[in-house]
Structure 1
Amino acid sequence: MTGETVEELEIQLLLDALYRQYHYDFRHYARASIKRRLLQAQRHFGLDSISALQSAVLHDETMLPNLLNYLTVQVSEMFRDPSYYKSLREKVVPHLHTYPSLKVWVAGCSHGEELYSLAILFREEGLLDKTIFYATDINPAALKAAQAGIYPLDRIRQFTENHRLSGGHSSLSDYYSADYGRAVFDKSLRARTVFSDHSLVTDAAFAEMHLISCRNVLIYFDKELQERVIGLFAESLARRGFLGIGSKESLRFSSHADRFTEHAREDRIYRRKGR
């Protein structure tokens, strides 16, 4: 048995163990990405093998949060890909104004950058007060960071430029206060947000969402899991609801593609067909 084959077996056994012991299911994440992150974790913990990492996490549950930080993607920025948010303003918001109340699901919310981007956009477009946001992630530490809404000040310059390019109607500085090298975002932006642990791999649909934004998450799943998640989103959307995904993601080759129409093709915004 070659070293590479042994390593692949070790990875599969570790993923199986995480699911059976802690109910975190990474078995259908893109294998190349998972392998890279597990090797990074192995090096970080100073362990000789993936098997040693498995033994450590099974016998010391305090290691689990640290391992989750490696296995879940926490890299984002506010108003990332500004044209996406500009399309929401110009092509989706006019439709959302026709509803008396709104539900928005930010799936895989990470540290909250996407959530606060949408909350600011909705405030600027006069929709915030009639919207309930659902911000979900499988990583408890990420959810805690999202609830805090605190980011290093050295990231704000990029956030501000993204906000401007997205068609922002005000200054981003209107929404945060600077404090000891940090930007603390106004708690009113999250006053109508439900933060929740939710796994796209194993958990059920949220019902009757008017907008689901799940950007740069599908690319980390294998084909089978992508199919499950896209079907989950279709079931979670209200009739004629909207789905936004990442710039490198697509529904084109999904078996669920015929349940959607392309609403803003270049910015990967889709609309659920009427039932």
Structure 2
Amino acid sequence: MPNPIARTEDIELRLLLEAIYLKYHYDFRGYAMASVKRRLNQARERFDCRSFSQLQDKVLNEPGMMDELLTYLTVQVSELFRDPAYFRAIREKVVPHLKTYPSIKVWIAGCSTGEELYSFAILFREEGLEERTMFYATDINPEALRKAEAGVYDLERMRLFTENHRLSGGKSSLSDYYSAGYGAATFDKSLRKRTVFSDHSLVTDAVFAETQMVSCRNVLIYFNKDLQGRAIGLFRDSLTRGGFLGLGSKETLRFSPHADDFSDFSRDERLYQKRGAH
């Protein structure tokens, strides 16, 4: 027999997500519910709410509450050159194709606090592509975008970042790209001089640019199948013919309605190439 308390909680959860969408236009209704529920339970504990209904009341009526809640609903766990084999494959296999373009646009979708952006900026500088590339770094979390634009990270993380950079085939020392002080590493402003930071939702927004590469890693795992299909459709529509799509290590196009629009380019590293005439 179904647990009536659990059922009531699930109803309250869906009402909370509906309220967030109606008031703030952030749409988490198609996210994987188990993940959303776990994160909102953490928020309930943090804000001392007995129920999702009480949390909903705070979100609707207390200024600044939605910004705080976004830190729970959006996952901000990343590192420079995360999964170094992915970046090595881009360096060795994708870059030779990109070098044939007079200008390049790269979309980092779900850029979080910017680690992936700086990984691309450094890699493209080392490969001589920086001056002809424009990066679009997008996320739904304004606070994460502010951190990405600042480019300041805990100095203790640099050891891991440095090792990742080396394993990705880095052609210089990572320390060439940042200055250290007061326990923080600040990446050189020149790395983001060709970057547009922008609020963009894969759930509700449209394509905004024609690109030669899209990198969206460890975002789709939080979406249900319909939202995954929508996001991959956006990437397909953004990419030029022969453009490249990179996904996270636990993500795949195999079950997507758009799978036939792409060919496997580097299967182990989840890199795909757009087919077709446009």
| TM-score between both structures, scaled by the size of structure 1 | 0.99
CA offsets 1:178-235 (integer angstroms, 9 cap, x no match) = 0110000000000000000000000001332001000000000000100100111000
Letter in 2 for 1:10: E
Q: Which residue of 2 aligns with 1:206?
A: 208
Letter in 2 for 1:107: A
Q: Distance in 2 between matches of 1:61 and 1:110?
A: 23
Give the alignment of 1:139-218 within 5 angstroms.
Answer: 139-218=141-220
CA offsets 1:32-53 (integer angstroms, 9 cap, x no match) = 0000000000000111111100
Residue 39 of structure 2, aligned match among 34, 37, 40? 37
Is residue 53 of structure 2 the alignment partner of residue 79 of structure 1?
Answer: no
Q: Distance in 1 between matches of 2:228 and 2:137?
A: 20
Residue 12 of structure 2, aligned match among 10, 13, 16? 10
Give SS of 1:242's match: strand
Q: Distance in 2 between matches of 1:70 and 1:140?
A: 13
Give SS of 2:197's match: strand
Q: Distance in 1 between matches of 2:244 and 2:25?
A: 30
Residue 240 of structure 1, aligned match among 227, 239, 242? 242
Q: Distance in 2 between matches of 1:56 and 1:151?
A: 31
Letter in 2 for 1:272: K
Q: Distance in 2 between matches of 1:207 and 1:195?
A: 13
CA offsets 1:231-258 (integer angstroms, 9 cap, x no match) = 1100010111000000000000111000
Q: Which residue of 1 aligns with 2:117?
A: 115
CA offsets 1:123-146 (integer angstroms, 9 cap, x no match) = 000001110000000000000000
Letter in 2 for 1:245: L
% identical equivalent positions:
66
Q: Which residue of 1 aligns with 2:30?
A: 28
Q: Distance in 2 between matches of 1:20 and 1:206?
A: 24
Q: Distance in 1 between matches of 2:252 and 2:232?
A: 10
Give SS of 2:69's match: helix
Q: Distance in 1 between matches of 2:243 and 2:149?
A: 26
Letter in 1 for 2:54: A
* Structure 1 residue 12, shift from structure 2 partner: 0.2
Q: Distance in 2 between matches of 1:195 and 1:137?
A: 8
Q: Which residue of 1 aligns with 2:92?
A: 90
Q: Distance in 2 between matches of 1:224 and 1:5?
A: 24
Give SS of 2:64's match: helix
Q: Gaps spanning 5+ residues in structure 1: where?
A: none
Give SS of 1:28's match: coil
Give SS of 1:78's match: coil
Aligned partners of 1:207 and 1:238 also within 8 Å: no
Moved runs in structure 1, 4+ residues, more than 2 A? none
Q: Which residue of 1 aligns with 2:70?
A: 68
Q: Gaps spanning 5+ residues in structure 2: where?
A: none
Aligned partners of 1:137 and 1:199 also within 8 Å: yes
Q: Distance in 2 between matches of 1:207 and 1:189?
A: 21
Aligned length: 275
* Structure 1 residue 62, shift from structure 2 partner: 1.0
| TM-score between both structures, scaled by the size of structure 2 | 0.98
Q: Which residue of 2 aligns with 1:104?
A: 106
Is residue 266 of structure 2 the alignment partner of residue 259 of structure 1?
Answer: no
